[in-house]
Structure 1
């Protein structure tokens, strides 16, 4: 979802600023908002995010911060401050017309994902959306495996912008398609089977892969 379908950067900074302003009001933060550090680790599960951004805070404080951040993200999505990447609905329509199923596997939390899916009507194309919360290991490779098992998928591709997506594809015998979008890193993309700069490029790639699931 983040950095591949949804332009998280449009709501990330304002939501993070809201959150750290909240921490400042509680006298639990007294320096600048660590937006750059967050951008560097974008894509990891949120518990690991707060371990990184709030290393000296208690687990309880991190959990409270996480809950507040989620509230701000959801509110900003509902206010229309976010956006899908160009051609998301167009490529989804193309994929469905070619008898392929679409699943979202994300490190985002369930409520956050549901808000995006609902706001942009992604259920018109997406069979099911899966959150890392559904997997005890918080490992995207395991999350993708659970999708393959549930839907008895034998071949397909994982399209994503971060190493966790590429690793999830390779660990499960799928094609790894890297997205050279906002949060992508060259050293991570170099490990993908293919790299795209626009989702519309999938129109020529997927038929060649003979992906049916």
Structure 2
């Protein structure tokens, strides 16, 4: 694997990059649709969880359009509320895992003087809650979410983060095409994560490198 120029900072997506989202969402997904049915807001069958997993990385409004396009705006709005509520409840119960080697790899990057950030299209309480509960929050200088800043795209979110923290050279690390676009549009090197298993064909086209385990990230640093 070709090594890349050493970055001043590394920006990470959260779901499918640092956090094994399906380990949390299997339970959350079922609970959301059980509740929507009990409240008579959505009476169709529960959509396959793969539909939700395949939509991760999108903005929430776009996720529900894809997962339940036939639902009313009220049902989609309620699904937003329930998704966050149940994610936080399940996290507090200890559900959900980081990918193998995440903590150790982040520690090594920090030891090399590299600044670490999270940039995610998720809701603020979730994007800040996962690192907190999993014991890695203190490793990040900033945690930015579309939910907090109301950004219309990941390109905009990453630009805002770079400007705020005065970052000049960075890597963008993520598993979705939105991460590739956000990195490239902001002049960053992009590392695609090909281990989550719910990306589409060609999802990481345009990335400068693709890794198949999280610790492989270190092999891209100059010696």
The runs of 5 or more residues in structure 2 that have no matched partner are: 1-13
**How many matched pairs?**
208
- Render the CA deviation track for 1:94-136: whole Å, top value 9, x for unaligned: 1111111000000110011121121112222111100012444
Q: Which residue number corresponds to residue 91 of structure 2?
A: 77
- Render the CA deviation track for 1:61-117: whole Å, top value 9, x for unaligned: 211121011111111111111000011111111111111100000011001112112
Per-residue deviation at 1:24?
1.7
Q: Secondary structure at the match of 1:187?
A: coil
Structure number with the higher helix fraction is 1
Q: Secondary structure at the match of 1:67?
A: helix
Indicate conservation of the 8 Å contact 1:17/1:33, yes or no: no
How far, CA to CA, are the matches of 1:78 and 1:11 in structure 2?
11
| Superposition TM-score, scaled by structure 1 size | 0.92
2:213 to 177, 194, 198: 198
Call closer, same or farther: CA 1:186–1:30 in 2, change over 3 Å. Answer: closer
Q: Which residue number corresponds to residue 25 of structure 2?
A: 12
2:187 to 159, 173, 179: 173
User: Is residue 139 of structure 1 aligned with residue 141 of structure 2?
Assistant: no
Call closer, same or farther: CA 1:123–1:136 in 2, change over 3 Å. Answer: closer
Indicate conservation of the 8 Å contact 1:78/1:115, yes or no: no
How far, CA to CA, are the matches of 1:205 and 1:130 in structure 2?
25
2:203 to 188, 206, 213: 188
Q: Which residue number corresponds to residue 16 of structure 2?
A: 3
Q: Which residue number corresponds to residue 53 of structure 2?
A: 39
Indicate conservation of the 8 Å contact 2:59/2:146, yes or no: yes
User: Is residue 63 of structure 1 aligned with residue 66 of structure 2?
Assistant: no
How far, CA to CA, are the matches of 1:175 and 1:134 in structure 2?
25
How far, CA to CA, are the matches of 1:135 and 1:118 in structure 2?
19
How far, CA to CA, are the matches of 1:54 and 1:185 in structure 2?
19
User: Which of 1 and 2 has higher RCO (CA within 8 Å, sep 6+)?
Assistant: 2
User: Is residue 22 of structure 1 aligned with residue 35 of structure 2?
Assistant: yes
Indicate conservation of the 8 Å contact 1:16/1:33, yes or no: no
Per-residue deviation at 1:38?
1.6
| Superposition TM-score, scaled by structure 2 size | 0.88
Indicate conservation of the 8 Å contact 1:180/1:195, yes or no: yes
Indicate conservation of the 8 Å contact 2:47/2:68, yes or no: no
Q: Secondary structure at the match of 2:190?
A: strand
Query: After the TM superposition, which segments of 4 or more aligned residues of structure 1 sit over 4 Å from their partners?
Result: none
Indicate conservation of the 8 Å contact 2:60/2:80, yes or no: yes
The runs of 5 or more residues in structure 1 that have no matched partner are: 209-213
